Amino acid sequence: MEQPKEQQSNPRRKSKGPARRYLLGLLFIAAQVVVLYELCVWVGFSYWLIIILFLFAYNFKFYKDLFEWMNGKGVKMFDDAYNRMFDKDRK
C-alpha cells in the first residue's frame, strides 16, 4: 500500500544543518557590510574608514565567535565521520 503523497519523503527537501547556519551567518555579515558601506557613503566617510569601522565595530566579538563556532562544527563533523569510517575497534 502506498503512502499518501504528503507523507512521502521529499528528496529535494531543504536540509537543515550546519551548512544552512553557515550560509545564514554569511548572509547576516554581508547585510551588515552593506549597511555599514551605505552609512559611510551617506555620511561621506572615505573607504579606509569603512574598513576600520568594520574591523573594530561593536560586534567584532560576534564575528570571532561565529567563525570559531563554524570552524569547530566543521572539525567535529569531520572527526566523527573519520572515526566512523576508520575505527577498527568499533563493531
* 77 Cβ contact list (under 8 Å, min separation 6): 18
Residue 61 covered by a domain: yes
Whether residue 49 is contained in a domain is answered as: yes
Is residue 44 included in any domain, yes or no? yes
Amino acid present at 21: R
> Whole-angstrom Cα distance, residue 56 to residue 61?
9
pLDDT digits (tens, 9 = 90+) for 23-59: 777 788 888 888 877 777 777 666 666 666 666 665 6
Rounded to whole angstroms, the Cα distance separating 18 from 74 reads: 8
Number of domains in the chain: 1
**CB atoms closer than 10 angstroms to residue 19:** 10
User: Is 12 within the bounds of a domain?
Assistant: no
Residue 73 domain flag: yes
Q: Rounded to an integer, what distance in angstroms lies between the CA atom of residue 33 and that of residue 37?
A: 6
- The tally of CA atoms less than 13 A away on the side-chain side of residue 36 is 20
> Could you read off the pLDDT of 64-86 as tens digits, one per residue?
666 666 666 656 666 666 677 66
Flag whether 29 is in a domain: yes
In a domain, 47, yes or no: yes
Whole domain around residue 28: which residue ranges? 24-86
